[in-house]
Amino acid sequence: MAASSDAKVLRTLYRAMLRWTKSPAAASSKFTIPNLENPTLDNLTSRVAIANGSSQVAAEVRPRNADGVRAVIRNTFRASVDLVKEEGEESQDHLDPVDLAFEALRTLHDFTQTLESQEKRREESLNRDGVEFSIGDVLLHKKFGYRGVVCGWDRRPVTDVSSWNGVQGLPSGSEQPFYHIIPDTNDITEAEPRSRSDFRYCAQENLSLLPPVECRVTNDAVTRIFDEFIPSEGPYLLINP
């Protein structure tokens, strides 16, 4: 058990983390906390969930939105989870509770930058002048012949595409919207047999909208991002955050 001074520090950090969940960036955003690539922090979510009665499978689900993060923070401080030893032996990922709380708070503040960046992009996306396609549309790549689902777009490319084969020779070059596309794996096998990527980055002038009858796309990434396909209409629907 933490010493009296440590307990006071923990309570202070606990309140600071709860305040983070009420910050404008966290409270107004829809998000899922990603894998933090830190064994102690990543395993903590699962261990707390299990200690509070969740199954192992349910415990692997990442916290969603401010409410989910707030629940994890509260349960962490309420549950009797041993952060130092695992099955009677000292953990290789040992951190005392105060160190863990500081690290968790730093991680949340770093994540704020990600949320603010996403919010800025959403605001910029409200202006769709010149953007022909929407998220969920199923398109055909006119040059490479594969179908794919739009899962995002940028008004201008976020990387240097000037030397790409698919961009050279286009009337607008890189001065046009670019789309994040989940390609049909069967189409890719035929069109680009060496490629294994789940995603493509495509210029608008290379794409055309497909009729609903041709819109069902096979790719595991589709089911991770989209919830439903409407054959009579064509577009895929995003998973409800």
List the one residue out of 103, 119, 116, 19 whose CA is nearest residue 69: 19
Confidence label for 241 from pLDDT (cuts 50, 70 and 90) = very low
User: Would you say residue 198 has pLDDT above 80?
Assistant: no
Give the DSSP H/E element, type plus range, for residue 140. strand 138-141
C-alpha to C-alpha distance for 3 and 9, rounded to whole angstroms: 10
What is the maximal distance between C-alpha atoms in the chain?
Answer: 70
Give the DSSP H/E element, type plus range, for residue 147. strand 147-154
> Average pLDDT of the chain?
76
Q: What is the pLDDT of residue 172?
A: 93
Q: What residue type is assigned to position 82 of the chain?
A: D
Q: What is the pLDDT of residue 218?
A: 85
The total of other beta-carbon atoms located within 10 Å of residue 39's CB is 11
Tokens describing residue 126: 């409200």
Average pLDDT score over residue span 3-25: 82
Dihedral Cα 73, 75, 76, 81, nearest 10 deg: -170
C-alpha to C-alpha distance for 140 and 217, rounded to whole angstroms: 11
The pTM score is 0.53
Q: What is the pLDDT of residue 197?
A: 64
List the one residue out of 116, 153, 140 whose CA is nearest residue 215: 140
C-alpha to C-alpha distance for 46 and 180, rounded to whole angstroms: 32
Q: pLDDT digits over 147-187, tens only?
A: 999 988 888 998 999 899 889 999 999 999 999 999 998 88
Q: What is the pLDDT of residue 188?
A: 82
Percent of the chain with pLDDT over 90: 23
C-alpha to C-alpha distance for 38 and 89, rounded to whole angstroms: 20
Q: What is the pLDDT of residue 81?
A: 42
Give the DSSP H/E element, type plus range, for residue 181. strand 178-183
